[in-house]
Amino acid sequence: MLRDSTDPSRLESGIIDYSQAPPNLPALRWGRSKEAEAVREYVAMMRKFGHSRFDAHECGMYVLRRKPWMTATPDRVVGCECCDIPRILVVKCPYSL
Ligand SMILES: [Zn+2]
């Protein structure tokens, strides 16, 4: 796990040959503008379903130690008191719906 200050996109592009889409595409701007709202709604829904103290936290990139070419950049790590196992959350806010 990386420090919170590590920019996952820069590290990821340094590990693999990877180029990002232009950041001002309307669909990408839409996704960024809606992500926090989607996370809030998800947290509220999980609490409503009875998950005690359910919450979501921003995170950086995860790198598998034994296979450092294998990485993940989830949007949040989520968890609650009752389930005791942290899980990852990836948010998709479709522009075309
Ligand atoms: Zn739970």
What global pTM score does this model have? 0.72
CA 48 to ligand 1 centroid distance, Å: 11
> Residue 15 carries which side chain, given as an amino acid letter?
I
Q: Per-residue pLDDT for 88 more than 80?
A: yes
Tell me the per-residue pLDDT of 20-53, one tens digit each, with 9 for 90 and over: 778 889 999 999 999 999 999 999 999 999 999 9
Is the separation of the CB atoms in 39 and 75 below 8 Å? yes
Average pLDDT on 81-88 reads 93
Task: Compute the distance from residue 14 Cα to the ligand 1 centre, in Å.
Answer: 37
Distance CA 86, CA 5 (A): 21
Strand order in the sheet with 76-79: 55-57, 76-79, 87-89
Q: How far apart are CA 75 and CA 73, in angstroms?
A: 7
Ligand 1 geometric centre to CA of 74 (Å): 19
CA of 52 to the centre of ligand 1 (A): 6
Q: Where are the domains of the chain?
A: 22-89
By CB atoms closer than 10 A (0-12, 13-18, 19+), residue 78 is buried
